[in-house]
Amino acid sequence: MRLEGGTSVILRVEMDKQAVTFGELVSLIGQQGGDIVAIDVIQPGRKTEVRDLTVSVVEPSVVETLSAAVSAMKGIHLVNVSDRTFLLHLGGKIEVHSKVPIKNRDDLSRVYTPGVAKVCLAIRDDPSKAHSLTIRRNTVAVVSDGTAVLGLGDIGPHAAMPVMEGKAMLFKELAGVDAFPICLDTKDPEEIIAIVKALAPTFGGINLEDISSPRCFEIENRLKELLDIPVFHDDQHGTAVVLLAGLLNALKIVGKAIEEIKVVVCGIGAAGVACSRMLLAAGVTHLVGVDKDGAIHRGVRYENEAWNDYAAITNPRQETGRLADVIAGADVFIGLSRPRLLNNEDVRKMKPDPIVFAMANPDPEISPEEAGSYVRVYATGRSDYPNQLNNVLAFPGIFRGALDARASTISESMKLAAAKAIASIVTDEELNEEYIIPSVFNDKVVPAVRKAVIQEAIHSGVARKIPSDFRNLD
Ligand SMILES: NC(=O)C1=CN([C@@H]2O[C@H](COP(=O)(O)OP(=O)(O)OC[C@H]3O[C@@H](n4cnc5c(N)ncnc54)[C@H](O)[C@@H]3O)[C@@H](O)[C@H]2O)C=CC1
Ligand SMILES: CC(=O)C(=O)O
Ligand SMILES: [Mg+2]
């Protein structure tokens, strides 16, 4: 499994300066396929010296051969090799900061007892004040049970934490939203619903993450009914928003109308179901979903209730067979399943100018190399290829807008508006096969999504507050 696009490692080396020169070491690392991008002298010395060399390699497999060659070099002791990604995770990736200092008793008596008591009583008397007097107005819970973490599957709540911390970082860095990762040691939907319901007073929104299907549908629907704050399963709706944005732009390139295309969605789990629904709402008429046992159609009674509902609204021609069968004549492939499920032969059965969105993480359903030049528009969920279709483009701006408008929910029309906002950031002049979707670093994304979400929240009556920049607007 290729977990990183390009890897960099830190080699800590102890050099016997009488036996080897630094230049010799540099050239050996170069010969072995490494590129030294930083050098830190850890322990200088006349005879021996300890240095940390940050070395970037194109393929993770190079690290092993390169380390072996460095170890074997006369005069060099390779002390250790650290993966920079692991180093970045030491102690976790986020922490809590106070907004006001506590320097004296006066400060203390206001942030804490006795002063805090009158704020508590004000909220007791009017609970809606919790939005203005606590962190609630800007805070989201990122809740997972670790059952469908990226495409890694059920790896458990402890192992899910790095992803949830990452999501919390993205909320903060991209949209200024404070987010807490909460990984639950239970897979019982009833227990998850009860826990999230009980946690809700702390939060202005609930972002469910990496909870496997079909459990995720029941959990989200029930929580939406129970809570008056937005509950949003990111893998379903964040993904669907970004997918639609990418597809709207890709269709402009190939000059096809959304009503006329055949779309094959592979992986009818959380993301696959929600993406399919979004595409149908946007005008797709010919959509076929495929999972492990082949195309989903009305001729079968599925144990998975979500698939019976799915069969009722998709596959108008009742196509049967495996992915390799139903892909024939498709204009668009959308992968939300597992790595390497599509091959070049399959792609060649698609209509001319195929669009392939291979969105499984961390490895796509088909690599760009295998997809080849026959594919007209290719996109993945990864950061290291062009056209990153990843829900990170959606959830920060969607929650920014929902929190600012104190929305009670995130409706279908708010999601559709968010998708169109993301798509519109790529201008007609900029649009090309390798640029159908703005980068996550494009600073227009979050403001555009926020604006669209707030406008739609106000329009559909779910906003409980008009943000100041929306007052007095026509
Ligand atoms: N790029 C993005 O923004 C996002 C990508 N994803 C990716 O989509 C994939 C699915 O995620 P979720 O929907 O959350 O998981 P999920 O566990 O709910 O769904 C996965 C589905 O794939 C199906 N599947 C497994 N093997 C298959 C096969 N051989 N052929 C067809 N279907 C098969 C499973 O049966 C299941 O229905 C993961 O790789 C995840 O990383 C998910 C959310 C966002
Ligand atoms: C991107 C994301 O949320 C996932 O792959 O699960
Ligand atoms: Mg996810």
Is 343 annotated among the ligand-binding residues? no
What residue type is 38 in one-letter code? A
Does 324 have pLDDT greater than 50? yes
pLDDT in the model for residue 7: 79
Q: Residues 127, 128, 132, 137: is their CA dihedral positive or negative?
A: positive
Q: How confident is the model at residue 183 (pLDDT cuts 50, 70, 90)?
A: very high
Q: Quick check: is 117 in a domain?
A: no
Q: Are residues 81 and 191 in the same domain?
A: no
- Kindly report the average pLDDT of the chain as a whole number: 95
Does 3 have pLDDT greater than 50? no
* Residues within 5 A (CB) of ion ligand 3: 210, 235
**ipTM for the whole complex:** 0.98
Any idea what the CATH number is for the domain that residue 15 is in?
A: 3.30.70.260
**pLDDT above 70: percentage of residues in the chain:** 98
Q: Which ligand places an atom closest to the C-alpha of 209?
A: 3
Q: Are residues 374 and 472 in the same domain?
A: yes
pLDDT digits (tens, 9 = 90+) for 281-305: 999 999 999 999 999 999 999 999 9
Q: Quick check: is 130 in a domain?
A: no
pLDDT in the model for residue 59: 83
By most ligand atoms within 8 Å of CB, the mutation choice from 152, 154, 291 for ligand 1 is 291
For residue 98, the CA-to-ligand 3 centroid distance in Å is 29
Q: Are residues 46 and 76 in the same domain?
A: yes
Provide the edge-to-edge strand list for the sheet that holds 178-183: 178-183, 139-144, 205-208, 231-233
**Domain carrying residue 205:** 136-229
Residue among 17, 47, 112, 187 flagged as catalytic: 112
Q: What's the domain count of the chain? A: 3
pTM of the entire structure? 0.90
Q: Residues 312, 315, 316, 322: is their CA dihedral positive or negative?
A: negative
Q: Are residues 68 and 46 in the same domain?
A: yes
Does 336 have pLDDT greater than 70? yes
> Would the CB of 150 count as within 6 Å of ligand 1?
yes
Q: Tell me the CA distances in angstroms from 336 to 35, 243, 414, 416, one per residue in order.
A: 35, 11, 23, 20
Q: Are strands 7-16 and 48-57 parallel, antiparallel or unpaired?
A: antiparallel
CA atoms within 13 A on the CB side of 388: 17
In angstroms, the first-to-last Cα distance of the chain is 53
Q: What is the mean pLDDT of residues 72-90?
A: 92
Q: What is the mean pLDDT of residues 67-77?
A: 96
Last residue of a domain, one of 185, 203, 229: 229
Does 141 have pLDDT greater than 90? yes
> Would the CB of 455 count as within 6 Å of ligand 1?
no
Does 57 have pLDDT greater than 80? yes
pLDDT in the model for residue 383: 82
Q: What is the mean pLDDT of residues 446-457?
A: 98
Better pLDDT: 382 or 274: 274
Q: How confident is the model at residue 474 (pLDDT cuts 50, 70, 90)?
A: low
112 among known catalytic residues: yes
pLDDT in the model for residue 357: 98
Last residue of a domain, one of 89, 118, 144: 89
Q: What is the mean pLDDT of residues 212-230?
A: 97
Q: Are residues 313 and 338 in the same domain?
A: yes
Q: Are residues 73 and 149 in the same domain?
A: no
Residue 303's nearest CA partner among 291, 321, 314 is 291
pLDDT digits (tens, 9 = 90+) for 342-357: 999 999 999 999 999 9
DSSP bridge partners of 124:
none
Q: Quick check: is 131 in a domain?
A: no
Q: Are residues 203 and 320 in the same domain?
A: no
* Alpha-carbon 237 to chain mean position: 11
pLDDT in the model for residue 471: 87
Does 473 have pLDDT greater than 70? no
Any idea what the CATH number is for the domain that residue 154 is in?
A: 3.40.50.10380
pLDDT in the model for residue 403: 98
Last residue of a domain, one of 89, 114, 144: 89
Q: What is the mean pLDDT of residues 76-97?
A: 93
Does 458 have pLDDT greater than 90? yes
> With contact defined as beta carbons under 8 Å apart, do 32 and 66 qualify?
yes
pLDDT in the model for residue 459: 96
pLDDT in the model for residue 148: 95
